[in-house]
Amino acid sequence: MIARVSGIYDEPELYELACAYRNVPAEVDALQRWCDRHAGGGADRSGPAGAPRGGVRSVLELAAGPAEHSLEFARRGLDATALDRSRAMCARARGKAGRAGLELAVVEADMRDFRIDRGFDLAITMLNSLCHLLTLDDLLAHLGALAAHLGPGALYVVELAHPADYLGVAPRTSSEWTTETDGARIEVRWGGPGDPIDPVSQVTREHVSVTVRPAVGDVRTVTDVVPNRFWTATEITAAVRLEGSFSVLASYGDFDDTTPVGDPRAWRMILILRRDRP
Ligand SMILES: C[S@@+](CC[C@H](N)C(=O)[O-])C[C@H]1O[C@@H](n2cnc3c(N)ncnc32)[C@H](O)[C@@H]1O
């Protein structure tokens, strides 16, 4: 039997399977190295084993989905909070934390307008989730809401799709892939050449389909159409300057230290922002 459902963010388990190609611990290793390098004043602050990396003790993950990165930070002893506007994703994040015996605060809220009664040393938005901010006003509201939760010198690391995916001769990432896990095969389509970018709004309507074929049991397919704003590097930099709370400190083209964002091998656009003194 084939079960068909609609709404990829209402199906956190299928979403997680679709994104299982990532090496989350390796990505968190990179985030911690960047904290050593850029947090506070910028001098490398890697300390003795066990010391907080770059002095960073607390992390807020925005548009966190199932919160895989904040869970990994919690596993490493940081005080972690995950924020998402999807009730299903928040429930999934809480459930995963509970099953793993990890402390994770979960906040159901919109990243454009939220108030958490505390501050953080680090904020992250992973896997191009800023694409859900469709307009300049959305992006400015988001930066303003986040700035209220970060002290001077705190970092905001934003992982975006590489602009070559939209503007290059050939995309750097594939819009179709498969993963295998626990004997199941997962077939994913996420956007791609069939989903043109509106040339004025820079918004695509990405057609998403995730099919899970277990070794035994029913095949499940979830389909969705997800609006996605394509942001250029210069637009983000201009928005950051216009909003006024952050500076762009550095950029990377991969979760390593050797691929600049301008390198032909770069496949992500990762920006390191620093919260400036108000
Ligand atoms: C592509 S998923 C990424 C999840 C996670 N960042 C990851 O790396 O797996 C995008 C997430 O953004 C959330 N989202 C979209 N718009 C949002 C908003 N305005 N405020 C908070 N979360 C939002 C969705 O509910 C979804 O969980």
Tell me whether residue 95 is in a domain: yes
Tell me whether residue 1 is in a domain: no
Q: Are residues 61 and 111 in the same domain?
A: yes
Tell me whether residue 83 is in a domain: yes
Q: Does residue 119 contact residue 145 with C-beta atoms inside 8 Å?
A: no
Q: Which domain holds residue 217?
A: 167-229
Q: CATH number, domain at 268?
A: 3.40.50.150
Q: Are residues 267 and 137 in the same domain?
A: yes
Predicted model pTM: 0.93
| Count: domains in the chain | 2
Q: Are residues 121 and 255 in the same domain?
A: yes
Q: Are residues 91 and 137 in the same domain?
A: yes
Ligand 1: does its nearest atom lie under 6 Å from the Cβ of 164?
no
What is the pLDDT at residue 278? 77
Tell me whether residue 2 is in a domain: no
What is the pLDDT at residue 51? 63
Return phi, psi of residue 230, to 5°. -90, 120
Q: Are residues 200 and 148 in the same domain?
A: no
What is the pLDDT at residue 43? 55
**The token pair that represents 203 in the structure block:** 């918004």
CA of 63 to the centre of ligand 1 (A): 3
Q: Are residues 221 and 106 in the same domain?
A: no
Ligand 1: does its nearest atom lie under 6 Å from the Cβ of 132?
yes
Q: Are residues 184 and 211 in the same domain?
A: yes
What is the pLDDT at residue 182? 81
Dist CA 270 CA 125 (whole Å): 10
Torsion of CA 13, 14, 17, 18, to 10 degrees: -140
What is the pLDDT at residue 53? 77
Q: Are residues 91 and 195 in the same domain?
A: no
Tell me whether residue 251 is in a domain: yes
Averages of pLDDT over runs of 10 residues in the chain (278 residues) are 72 90 96 91 59 85 98 97 97 98 98 98 97 97 98 96 86 88 90 89 94 91 93 96 97 95 94 92
**The token pair that represents 165 in the structure block:** 């995916």
Name the nearest CA neighbour of 62 among 11, 13, 16, 108.
Answer: 108
Q: Which of 87, 132, 268 to mutate to test the pocket of ligand 1 (most atoms within 8 A of CB)?
A: 132
